[in-house]
Structure 1
């Protein structure tokens, strides 16, 4: 598996599993039923951030986007978001993308990484981020409407880099 910077030409392939992930409704509080054009600015980061893809041959297995969590005086803390094609979940793609984002943030001089909204019932993601050094620093109760569990919390997670 290789991780490389995503291109505009990669977006349609990313969108195929972006759309599925958003329709599942278990991990992101993004708008429903976005078209290819509507969803593109929600995922394809521009500088100073970037979007990357995990590829095997010509197949895109997953994607991550990263950049400053906030502008101006908050821009020293990074953030990231992750998508793995459902056909490739549980195969280490998310871990590889997570490690990439951590290393990218270090290289870029960020002091830490903050995830603003990790759904508390997303056990695999919570476990992965904790294994990579993130801590749950708070949970906003009943802030995500999960299709099976109803109103659940969103964790704010943080990984210091300095």
Structure 2
């Protein structure tokens, strides 16, 4: 249920409010609605790709590369190299969702050596959608892992996005390319209060469609 991933070779600097607030946002602990209320913690990543375990970066890179290869949800045609992915995904502000471990201390879920293919459920980033005087408008890219399928992780990450983005000073969210043949993603965003504010006809050549697919542009005010 990913939204747009923009050109990986560019980075729009975040507004000052984002920079000031990023390191103050604590992890969010909740439960998965479709997994017998299993506990999950969503960890903000605010100090760049070097602040998360290398084996977790490698796992998420492999998951992202597989998603690109499937060719149905992202505009890219070729996977990124590991270093490019790490900088692109974690270079501004990102969140990683992992299952809680019984008996472990709160906040200890991102330690090196966990079996990420079993416990890492997904990740998303928050970035400005436009530069400069419009940088208070943000977008996000979402990725769920194989371990997350059918557990409601997409909704939980969407809810966390709506909680964290206003704390970073953003006032409006835009998702630029939500493909019209991705009903699961569309359902989540509509349920979370997003509206279609535009449509790009025949925007994408996707592997799961013989025809060119329209892209929907979703928008929502933040902080309400």
Judge same fold: TM > 0.5, yes or no.
yes
Which deviates further from its counterpart, 3-12 or 74-83? Answer: 3-12
Of 58, 68, 71, which residue of structure 1 is paired with 2:128?
68
Between the two structures, name the one with larger relative contact order (CA 8 Å, sep ≥ 6). Answer: 2
| Preserved contact between residue 120 and residue 147 of structure 2 (Cα < 8 Å) | no
| Preserved contact between residue 71 and residue 208 of structure 2 (Cα < 8 Å) | no
**What is the number of residues matched between the two proteins?**
159
Measure how far apart 1:129 and its partner are: 0.5
Measure how far apart 1:40 and its partner are: 2.6
Of 14, 18, 41, which residue of structure 2 is paired with 1:2?
41
Alignment of 1:14-33 (within 5 A): 14-33=60-79
* Higher CA-based Rg: 2
Of 137, 156, 161, which residue of structure 1 is paired with 2:217?
156
Measure how far apart 1:18 and its partner are: 0.7
Measure how far apart 1:8 and its partner are: 3.8
Alignment of 1:121-160 (within 5 A): 121-149=181-209, 150-160=211-221
Of 31, 52, 76, which residue of structure 1 is paired with 2:95?
52
Q: For 1:27, what is the secondary structure of its paired residue?
A: coil
| 2:106 equivalent in structure 1 | none
Judging by fraction of residues, say which structure has more strand.
1
Measure how far apart 1:37 and its partner are: 2.3
Q: For the aligned residues, what is the CA RMSD?
A: 1.6
Q: Residues 76-110 of structure 1: CA distance to partner in whole angstroms, max 9, x if unpaired?
A: 11111100013312211111111111111122221
TM-score (norm 2): 0.66
Of 37, 62, 78, which residue of structure 1 is paired with 2:138?
78
| Preserved contact between residue 113 and residue 161 of structure 1 (Cα < 8 Å) | yes
TM-score (norm 1): 0.90
Structure 2: 5+ residue stretches without partners? 1-39, 46-50, 102-113
Which deviates further from its counterpart, 3-12 or 18-27? Answer: 3-12
| 2:161 equivalent in structure 1 | 101
| 2:105 equivalent in structure 1 | none
Q: For 1:146, what is the secondary structure of its paired residue?
A: coil
